[in-house]
Chains A and B, each alone.
Chain A
Amino acid sequence: MKTMFFTEAIDDALGQAMAADPRVIVFGEDVPLLRRNLLVRFGPERVRATPISESAFVGAGVAAAMAGLRPVVELYMVDFASVAMDALLNHAAKVESFSGGQWQAPLVVRAPCGGGYGDGGQHEQSLWGWLAHIPGLVVLVPSTPADAGGLMLAALEWDGPVVFLEHKLLSESWLEFMGSGGRTTVRYDVPAAGARGPVPREWQPVPLGEAALRKEGSDVAFVSVGVGVHRCLEAAQALEGEGITAAVLDLRTVSPLDRATFCELVARTGRLVVVDEDYERFGLSGELSAVALEAGLSFSYARVCTETTIPYARHLEDQTLPGTERIVAAARQLL
């Protein structure tokens, strides 16, 4: 079985798409350094550096996509999407609707997200709920190398704007870049199965809006994305010693949501714990409860999310981000 690291898998799938389709180009801050392996294979015309001008280069990505390219636009961190928010909120997400369905902007905005390594509240946010709130944006949050590569391919095949979020704690190269570089003295709680794993010989797209059941269970349903999925699996394992079996559902795509699979699981277990590294209020956790209620389901509910600005200090950060102990406690509360 072929295995890859998380970011290696994304770049490999991206390389496959670039080899097949000359319309796919990559640009963003420091891209010639970060994607140097793609640069030496596809040349500087297709792998380009941008100035630190997010509003300009994301906005240009939207219109370049409208005019026939398939750009992959990289942001240094999803936190910096705030600087380019107009391009995403008022343009990328609106083209198809404003044109009466006659014009689309097939760009992929790729950005690292998430915390757990000590960069503080302006550099460790998740923000997928904030982005998925906007009609017209597809938002992807893979949790394994295989899904990361497959979803990148699906993102490139999608005819509208996609935000592809790459959790830094899973990414070998972002972690090296953001803090571990040259040191052996720091430890991060990296989920091994998410950081490196089996990948297909040839990449196939992972369908958008299709959740994956990572673990079967009948007493309670854990639902999450990204690193949260791995925290749920750890929590489920801890609960097994108590005779409690928890199912773990990896949504993989925040928008569109796989309502059918999600509702079926909630109906079956009757207990839902949403684990969301993004902010608690007005986000994915509330949305999932609404989806289940709209489906007429009766269930008990708890959520483990990030409730405040993420603190810089590592011990405070660990208490703030959804951790295994909090997930276990939330599950016990429902049983």
Chain B
Amino acid sequence: MAPDLWSLYALMKMSRLFEETVTQLWQEGLISGEMHLGTGEEAIVAGVLDHVQEGDALALDHRATPALLMRGVDPVLILRELLGHEEGLCRGQGGHMHLFSHEHLAASSGIVGASGPAAAGFALAGQYLRPRAIAVAFFGEGAMNQGMLLEALNLAAVWRLPVLFVCKDDNWSITSDSSQLTGGNLCQRVEGLGVPYTVVDGTDVAAVWEAAGESIERIRDGHGPSFLHASCVHLEAHFLGYQLVRAARKPLQEVPRIARPLLKSFFRPGGASLRMRRQGLQEVLSALLTTHRDPRRSTANDPLIRARRALVSEPQRLRELEEDVEREIAAILSAVVEEGSG
């Protein structure tokens, strides 16, 4: 079977525009605390969610908005929640890192790795209560160093739980380079726990859709859990306002604020040898440069631009689809913002 690229693109586009709206509201200060977006991982979420059915469960991380939108949760409720309305999805109690939809069996958590045990438990309940239902866990590669997730992989393997573990690998553990903090190879790691894996380019929605479809079919047939490793880049890095991304975008404004105390400390008496200090400085500079040269700045890694390329041969249909989504998001925004001001 081949994916319906039009419907997948529509899901991704809706999620992207919704989160761009969220970005704007965050910049305006209408959202107070942290904001972790899923911009850049839409192809992974869409490619997996398209196979999710009634009765399946979702264990989500701190970037839960795209998955809930694509699962069919009312966007008005989500937006109200992010703005802290008492009539939001979670009555203003949860917020963007703690979104829940009982109706859709979808729960998120801001604790890194927590989606692993949650998916195992959802799958266990499914085995008793909902035949052929599965649970999906979404998490980043940083979570693969968290004990609870590795324990959940093992538990799912020995109990043959119907779980699809989806690793959205952007190579950043919060703001640290994951490759320097992760021993061995992640796929070999899950294989060692008895969980079969598939590797896919997470910016290619068709590839994700096919890989997820095969895995989910096997899981529904009772063959136990599966692991999907999908690479991606997060367009806003870990969260909105991340200092090093700001430094990369507006170096003249941001770099002096970092550099002044840094140099003062570098030359401060007492401490390491000049050689060790240079190594420390090198680490900071390399973090800055890595962010500056970040692949997220390249449109080649934007899953939407990539998905759109397959559709430009029908420009009229594409334009109509995009205009429909834009109208939908604008209507959601105006409905929620008018409520807020009224």
Contact = CB atoms under 8 A, between A and B. Distances in A.
A316 B272 contact: no
B174 A45 contact: no
Contacts of B92: 311-313, 316
B188 interface: no
B268 A33 contact: no
Interface residues of B, number: 64
Contacts of A315: 84
Nearest to B271: A41
Interface of A: 15-16, 18-20, 29-30, 32-33, 36-47, 49-56, 76, 79-80, 82-83, 117-123, 176-183, 185-188, 309, 311-316
Interface stretch (B130-138, B159-167, B240-248): B240-248
A39 to B, nearest CB: 4
Nearest to A176: B243
A120 B243 CA distance: 22
B145 interface: yes
- Name the residue among B109, B110, B180 with the largest chain A CB count within 10 angstroms: B110
B227 to A, nearest CB: 18
Contact of B175 (A30, A37, A53, A182): A30
Given A51-B182, A118-B84, A185 B27 contact: yes
Contact of A186 (B29, B109, B284): B29
Contact of B174 (A18, A19, A52, A188): A52
- Name the residue among A43, A121, A185 with the largest chain B CB count within 10 angstroms: A43
- Name the residue among A80, A309, A314 with the largest chain B CB count within 10 angstroms: A314
Given A122-B97, A309-B93, A313-B93, 12 more contacts: A29-B176, A33-B287, A37-B262, A41-B270, A41-B277, A41-B280, A43-B280, A44-B279, A44-B280, A53-B146, A120-B33, A188-B32
Contacts of B64: none
A40 B145 contact: no
B101 interface: no
A292 to B, nearest CB: 35
A181 B240 contact: yes
Contacts of B148: 83
Contact of A122 (B111, B266, B270, B284): B111
A179 B81 CA distance: 17
Nearest to A314: B32
Contacts of A83: 111, 113, 146-148
A15 B267 CA distance: 13
A176 B90 CA distance: 27
A56 B94 contact: no
A211 to B, nearest CB: 32
Given A53-B146, A53-B147, A40 B28 contact: no
Contacts of B180: 49
Contact of A316 (B29, B93, B113, B277): B93
Nearest to B242: A181
A181 to B, nearest CB: 3
A50 B180 CA distance: 9
B107 interface: no
A39 B280 CA distance: 5
Given A45-B276, A177-B243, A36 B284 contact: yes
5 contacts: A33-B244, A40-B266, A41-B265, A121-B93, A178-B34
B280 A121 contact: no
A49 B181 CA distance: 8
B183 to A, nearest CB: 9
A117 B29 CA distance: 11
Interface string B100-119: 00000000011111000000
B40 interface: no
Interface string B25-40: 0111101111000000
B265 A30 contact: no
A167 B178 CA distance: 28
A82 B261 CA distance: 33
A50 B178 CA distance: 10
Contact of B95 (A119, A185, A187): A119
**Nearest 5 CB-CB pairs, A to B?**
A185-B29, A118-B32, A43-B276, A181-B241, A312-B95
A46 B246 CA distance: 28
Interface string B269-303: 01111001101110110010000000000000000
B141 to A, nearest CB: 10
Contacts of B112: 52
Given A29-B176, A30-B174, A119-B97, A44 B283 contact: yes
Nearest to A119: B33
Contacts of B271: 15, 18-19, 41-43
A186 B33 CA distance: 9
A118 B31 contact: yes
A148 to B, nearest CB: 17
Contacts of B246: 181-182
A124 to B, nearest CB: 8
Contact of A40 (B97, B178, B181, B280): B280
Contacts of B94: 120-121, 312
Interface in B80-94: 81, 84-86, 88, 90, 92-94
B124 interface: no
Given A15-B268, A120-B33, A312-B94, A32 B176 contact: yes
Contacts of B110: 120, 122-123
B123 interface: no
- Name the residue among B94, B142, B178 with the largest chain A CB count within 10 angstroms: B94
B175 to A, nearest CB: 5
B5 to A, nearest CB: 35
Contacts of B243: 176-177, 181-182
B308 interface: no
A313 B176 contact: no
B98 interface: yes
A47 B280 contact: yes
B283 A32 contact: yes
